[in-house]
Amino acid sequence: MSDRILYSQPDLLIDHDRTSAEGDIRTEEMLINMGPQHPSTHGVLRLVLRTDGELVVEATPHIGYLHRCAEKIGENLTPVQFIPMTDRMDYLAAMNNNHAYSMAIEKLAGIEVPERARYIRIIMAELNRIASHLVAFGTFGLDMGSFTAVLYAFREREYILDLFEAACGARLTYSYISIGGVIADLPERFLEKMAEFLDFFEPKIDEYNNLLSYNHIFVKRTANVGVISSQDAIAYGLTGPCLRACGVKWDLRKCAPYDIYDRFEFDVPVGVDGGSDGIPPSVVMGDSWNRYFVRMEEMKQSVRILRQCIQQIPEGEVRTKLPRSLVLPKNEVYLEAENPRGQLGFLIVGDGSPVPYRLKARGPCFCNLSITHHVCRGVLLADVPAIIGSIDIVLGEVDR
């Protein structure tokens, strides 16, 4: 044993007779559980990582810890009764969930929504999009070691939650957008307060970029990490910022407008390669940095839409009067809406009774998470939180 040292690992032998370039080092693969309590998994997600040293050979997501049978519950409740369940799917974008489900039922039952209510819906959906992206910005910064980002994000989010509380009395699960319109008109001076918020908030986005987006350490942790090609993104069913970060200019609000989105002027941000327009040179289209930065740009577009809503919103009724017992005709519809995390779709099958015969939800987080095993292969262990954080999942929607 004079010329060979045996370390505590039984299969790790280092031959000191050889040079470092010719050293024969044998290692064992190790299985590591990340979650379901790990803070960087953004909820009760369990990732089983097969590692070779610091290199991730395979990553397998395990879901279901938050499963609540939402679809089966929807087949035993009337549409109005099911609205609170949609709040609890993607609980960071409850208004958007209310909106998508209500539109699906209205399409099936042939219900017309008053003009004012349609504008109020867009206002709430875009405010919730900003609030959701603020959480994504803050928590992603926290994952990458920046505590300041989450303080800034939640500071601005509080203003939006105050507006929601004024409108419906709730700050997380709203049930405000319902079948036929919204449950109540906007409170007095709501639009004035929202305009004040937009004037305050819009310059903050540049402040966030200076704080985090162009921060050298943050860029090193996210640029050229977890790169997804546009072909892979489409093959795995990615939507929302995860798809647009790959350079695919696809946003339902622009490409297949629903509700009244065709009345507004706004752009669809997509991922870019670094080296121009102030983008760090190490950035690659489809990487973790782009998935993050598309959300930052989308907040600017939401501000544009909200300002147009203030100018265009008419007076009038905010809800269509529904029959005491709303009967769903023997037919089926599928409707998708552009949520903060991607396309949320509802398949509703009616059989002539007040409750759906079949309810199926297509959750964007569930589909976006499906690429985890592909994109996390061959990365470093420290890159996994960056990739998961950039996908921006909410487990309430993944598990349903």
Residues 130 and 215 in one domain: yes
Look up the domain containing 136 and give its range: 72-399
- Into how many domains does the chain fold? 2
Please report which confidence band the pLDDT of residue 154 belongs to, taking 50, 70 and 90 as the band edges: very high
pLDDT at 267 over 70: yes
Do the Cβ atoms of 200 and 193 come closer than 8 Å?
A: no
pLDDT greater than 60 at residue 5: no
Final residue in a domain of this structure, among 62, 87, 109: 62
Question: Does residue 258 sit in the same domain as residue 387?
Answer: yes
The answer on 325 and 256 residing in a single domain is: yes
Q: Is residue 207 part of a domain?
A: yes
Query: Can you give the pTM of this predicted structure?
Result: 0.89
Same domain, yes or no: 233 and 282: yes
- Both tokens assigned to 228: 């997804």
Is residue 54 located within the same domain as residue 10?
yes
- Percentage with pLDDT > 70 across the chain: 93
For residue 67, being part of any structural domain is answered with no
Longest CA span, the chain = 91
Same domain for 269 and 301, yes or no, is yes
Average pLDDT over residues 212-234: 91
- Rounded Cα distance between 274 and 147, Å, is 26
Q: Are residues 356 and 274 in the same domain?
A: yes
CATH of residue 387 = 1.10.645.10
Query: 3-state class of 296 per DSSP?
Result: helix
In tens, the pLDDT along 311-339 reads 999 999 999 998 888 899 999 999 999 99
Same domain as 319, residue 367: yes
**CA–CA gap between residue 320 and residue 91 (Å, rounded):** 26
Mark whether 302 and 342 lie in a shared domain. yes
3-class DSSP state for residue 52?
A: strand
- Tell me the three state secondary structure of residue 59: strand
Q: Decide if 115 is inside a domain.
A: yes
In one letter, which amino acid is 293? Answer: F
106, 248, 260 from 257: Cα distances, Å: 16, 17, 7
Quote the tokens at residue 332: 């089926």
Of 62, 89, 112, which marks where a domain is finished? 62
**Rounded (10°) angle between helices 190-208 and 147-168:** 170
Q: Evaluate whether residue 250 is within a structural domain.
A: yes
CA dist., res. 115 & res. 129, Å (int): 21
In a domain, 132, yes or no: yes
Any domain includes 48: yes
**Smallest Cα–Cα separation from 62: which of 92, 89, 32, 91?**
32
